Amino acid sequence: MTRFAAVLQGFTRFLFALGIAATATAWAQNLPIVSGEPVVGTPKAAQTPGLLTSEEEMPARRLRLAVPSRAELSFADKADAAVKRVKIGFGREVAEHAVEGTGDKLAWSSVGEWRIAKLRVQSPGAASLRVGLRIGATRQPWVLRVAGSDDESKSLGPLRMAGPLGQAETYWTPLTEGDAQVIEIASPASQPEPFVQVATVSHVVASPSTQFRKTASDIGRSETCNIDVACVSNPPQALLNVANAVVHMLATKPSGGSFLCTGTLLIDLHPGDQIPYLLSANHCFEAESAPYHTRQQMQQVASSLNTFFFFSAATCNSLATPPFVQRFNGATYLHHSLSQDVLFLRLNEWAPAGAYLAGWDANPVPIGTPITVLHHPYGDLKKFTSGTVRALETLSSPQDAPTGYWRAEYNQGITEPGSSGSALLSFSAGEYYVRGNLSYGNIFFCSARQSNGYYVGSDWYSRFDVAYADVRQWLEATALPDFDVTDLWWDPTQSGWGMNLTQHPSGNVFGVWYTYAADSGPLWLVMTGGSWVTSRTFTGALYRTSGPGYNQPTFDPARVKLNPVGSITFNFTDASNGSFTWVVDGVQGTKSFTRQGF
């Protein structure tokens, strides 16, 4: 939401006819009302807690930028009041600002079976850092780990990067705390050095450890009348549940600007599949003015998304940093609407155990309905706000959907910039239901109350009952598997062959079977375009691929061939064991396999 002036400068409101608003309760369309469920979590292979190499074993090459100028640090003061998200970081091109080192060519060293490059990127004075990498294609993926200078004993990763498809746009490393980030890249020594260029840095002036409050101009100090969820007296379990569906969002644009918003995980119509769909506001990713983003540009921002789960005060009014969980593999863009101010994504990582998938009601909200909002004002710890839906009103362009927005007033707590995208929640039958998301609003002051006890000002929320027509294709999707099968799989008694399965949060699985042909030469087969027959059985076609060599001066797509050779069916007995049956060139067989531990 934005800190608009009390008169809501910047757009004109048009009330719907009072008769239409009064009959909102009669608009029920008998659309789905779905209860939420807790996230069980999925098994994952153990991850290395730190980098592969210590500073003593392999010192990181230094890339240091100049101290930011006063003009750079004034980005927050220049922010237009019509910008609803909170900007907490600005971009710095390495080629322009580097005073030590270069981002054009990495130095590689052989360490066992790996070729490793290690770089320490510093932007002096930053509270947190993200680094924008440009990545070329490789025959095999390589592995990325990062650590912040505030605690280099902990790393985020490993992340598998590049591969045959490579990546054209900028890849943003996960957010780490401190003014420097150590980047460690490990590539198989048998492969050519991958192309990696350090192009941009997002200098972030806030960090999770300070609840995103310690900034260059003291951004992030939410108003004192905001209420911690832990301060709610005798909260029902339903409130504690839905609070775990609310995530703090950090996204970075290609230019390096980083922004804060709030989002809410939604359940679909098939309880148990646990797909992490995320609802927020379009303006959290959108350009500030025309020309507005294309689908491809929205995906670029979605790929940069970091989400912070459980970012809530442990006890009432506590300022201690909670044990939050950071997800940093981005999201898949699914839908956005400029006029309705709706953004709908699917996280590329499964939500952590203990999170919650919120229920929703796809019918209109009756005027006078009590509502609850859970949000991260200025990126602060999660806050509780309550109030009432007062009217249905239209807004001006570009948020000019003729179906209008729900106008709400509050009597407990308020919202602020950074609250944008948070869900409008109604309560019935012991459950909270999502009914829309925060778009615009007045500036609120804790001291300004009306005679009825409500704060002076209003917020406007998009309508989930309207957006449902566009997002139902995902929320009503077919049933999916019992667990995430993404991993390396093998038979430990038959070392030398294996299966690499990658499952997207949509449920689709891509597989690569690396084995041997009849002449004992290497054979790679790919599986794509399959489907789940049951929650533990997946079947798909097998292909043998060929194309122009990597060393050819130009790539000729006409030479790429996808030759069908048979089919494969996986049967999983549990989350870590199973078997598969194949038919390749008319020969059929069956093998058992298990997840490969590390």
Find the mean pLDDT for residues 353-372: 97
Architecture of domain 14-44+223-475: Beta Barrel (2.40)
Strand, helix or coil for residue 61: strand
CA distance 360 to 315: 28
Alpha helices (H) along 227-362: 237-243, 295-303
> What is the pLDDT of the chain when averaged over all its residues?
85
Find the mean pLDDT for residues 195-218: 78
CA distance 108 to 53: 13
CA 71 to chain centre: 30
Find the mean pLDDT for residues 27-50: 71
Give yes or no for residue 317 having a pLDDT over 80: yes
Find the mean pLDDT for residues 321-335: 90
Tell me what percent of the residues of the chain surpass a pLDDT of 90: 55
Find the mean pLDDT for residues 276-292: 93
Find the mean pLDDT for residues 404-427: 96
CA distance 218 to 225: 18
Residue 28: pLDDT band (50, 70, 90) is very low
Strand, helix or coil for residue 336: strand
At 553 the pLDDT is 85
For residue 370, say if its preceding peptide bond is cis, omega within 30 degrees of 0: no
φ and ψ at residue 310, rounded to 5 degrees: 60, 30
Q: How many CB atoms lie within 10 A of CB 473?
A: 10
Give yes or no for residue 107 having a pLDDT over 80: yes
- Strands in 414-560 per DSSP E: 423-428, 431-441, 459-461, 487-490, 498-503, 509-516, 522-534, 537-546
Residue 554: pLDDT band (50, 70, 90) is confident
Give the global pTM: 0.78
Find the mean pLDDT for residues 50-73: 92
CA distance 306 to 309: 10
Q: Are strands 258-266 and 325-327 parallel, antiparallel or unpaired?
A: unpaired
Strand, helix or coil for residue 255: coil
What class is the 61-80+91-204 domain? mainly beta
Give yes or no for residue 484 having a pLDDT over 70: yes
Domain ranges of the chain: 14-44+223-475, 61-80+91-204, 487-595
Write down the residue that tokens 């950071």 correspond to. 326
- Taking phi over 0 as left and psi of -120 to 50 as alpha, with beta for the rest, 298 belongs to alpha
Residue 137: pLDDT band (50, 70, 90) is low
At 216 the pLDDT is 39
Range of lowest pLDDT (262-271, 333-342, 452-461, 473-482):
473-482
At 473 the pLDDT is 78
Give yes or no for residue 167 having a pLDDT over 60: no
| Bridge partners (DSSP) listed for residue 459 | 408, 441
Range of lowest pLDDT (13-27, 45-59, 529-543):
13-27
At 271 the pLDDT is 67
**For the chain, what is the radius of gyration of the CA atoms?**
25
Most confident of 75-89, 285-299, 472-486: 285-299
| Bridge partners (DSSP) listed for residue 438 | 461
At 12 the pLDDT is 35
CA distance 283 to 292: 10
CA distance 129 to 177: 6
At 477 the pLDDT is 62
Q: How many CB atoms lie within 10 A of CB 313?
A: 20
Expressed in percent and rounded to 5, the helix, strand and coil fractions of the chain are 10, 40, 50
